[in-house]
């Protein structure tokens, strides 16, 4: 059974009266679609809160209207236009120093204002950089602009705002560009199940295939109600007094 390692890890936590927090971040959201409906429907069936990283330059009222019937969905900001400004031969990035920093700052401010106007209290001012890359000089701007958190991929580190990262990516970006092997995903999740950890699962609903849908259904079924874990929203995790101090610099 491919879930075995994760079940064992969660059982050990529960036996010691401990748990991990799980949270769900879905990137590249723009507008309503069948793919978005499928993703939100799977989460809703298991009462799992989700966080949509929305691209301001390409979204509008249609998405805001669609989300009105989703009580457990937060909206965060996924850069401005998800446009690569890095020179050829350099890894893709929108929030680097390849443009004047005041241009980047203006777009970050514009995007925050736009998503606040569209989504109101559903909008949570956490920045999700496209391709999970951002220059430290841009991070330093975030508190003054009104952002309360930053989310990339991998281990968190000290920053100008609290970081709540994702750690398990369901997509094989460098191979098939479809869903990764479920056994590997369960093992990766199990390996970082430490007491009090906040583990982020990263999805991209627009490119999900049957493998992703199957993995998410199995993950949701296994974890929902298990005493060794709990699914929480990004906002709730960041507001928790137990959130690791070294991620709240």
Question: What integer pLDDT is reported at residue 2 of this predicted model?
Answer: 86
List, in sequence order, every beta strand (DSSP E) within 69-189.
73-77, 123-127, 149-150, 168-169
Model confidence over 203-230: pLDDT tens digits?
999 999 999 999 999 999 999 999 999 9
Q: Which residues, other chains included, contact 120 with Cβ-Cβ below 8 Å and sequence gap of 6+? A: none
List, in sequence order, every beta strand (DSSP E) within 60-110.
73-77
User: Binning pLDDT at 50, 70 and 90, where does residue 244 land?
Assistant: low
Model confidence over 24-78: pLDDT tens digits?
999 999 999 999 999 999 999 999 999 999 999 999 999 999 999 999 999 999 9
Give, for 210, the enclosing helix (H) or strand (E): helix 210-223
Question: What integer pLDDT is reported at residue 241 of this predicted model?
Answer: 79
User: Binning pLDDT at 50, 70 and 90, where does residue 240 land?
Assistant: confident
Model confidence over 188-200: pLDDT tens digits?
999 999 999 999 9
pTM for the predicted model, two decimal places: 0.95
pLDDT at 173 over 90: yes
The torsion defined by the Cα of 73, 78, 82 and 87, in degrees rounded to 10, comes to -150
Mean pLDDT of 181-187: 97
Residue 154 CB neighbours (<10 A): 12
Euclidean distance between CA atoms 170 and 113, whole angstroms: 31
pLDDT at 235 over 80: yes
CATH 3.20.20.370 fits 4-240, yes or no: yes
DSSP 3-state of 29: strand
pLDDT at 245 over 50: no
Euclidean distance between CA atoms 118 and 114, whole angstroms: 6
């Amino acid at each position: 059974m491919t879930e075995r390692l994760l079940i064992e890890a969660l059982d050990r936590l529960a036996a010691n009266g401990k748990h991990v927090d799980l949270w769900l971040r879905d990137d590249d959201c723009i507008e309503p679609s069948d793919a978005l409906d499928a993703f939100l429907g799977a989460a809703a069936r298991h009462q799992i809160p989700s966080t949509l990283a929305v691209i301001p330059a390409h979204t509008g009222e249609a998405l805001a209207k669609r989300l009105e019937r989703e009580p457990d969905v937060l909206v965060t900001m996924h850069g401005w236009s998800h446009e690569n400004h890095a020179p050829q031969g350099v890894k893709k990035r929108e929030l680097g120093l390849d443009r004047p920093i005041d241009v980047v700052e203006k777009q970050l401010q514009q995007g925050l204002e736009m998503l606040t106007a569209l989504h109101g209290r559903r909008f949570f001012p956490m920045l999700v950089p496209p391709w999970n890359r951002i220059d430290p000089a841009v991070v330093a701007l975030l508190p003054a602009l009104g952002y309360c958190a930053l989310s990339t991929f991998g281990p968190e580190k000290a920053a100008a705002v609290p970081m709540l990262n994702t750690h398990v990516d369901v997509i094989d970006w460098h191979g098939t560009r479809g869903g990764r092997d479920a056994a590997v995903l369960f093992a990766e999740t199990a390996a970082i199940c430490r007491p009090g950890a906040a583990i982020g699962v990263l999805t991209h609903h627009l490119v999900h295939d049957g493998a992703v849908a199957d993995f998410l259904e199995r993950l949701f079924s296994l974890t929902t109600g298990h005493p060794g874990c709990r699914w929480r929203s990004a906002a709730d995790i960041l507001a928790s007094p137990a959130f690791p101090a070294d991620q709240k610099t």
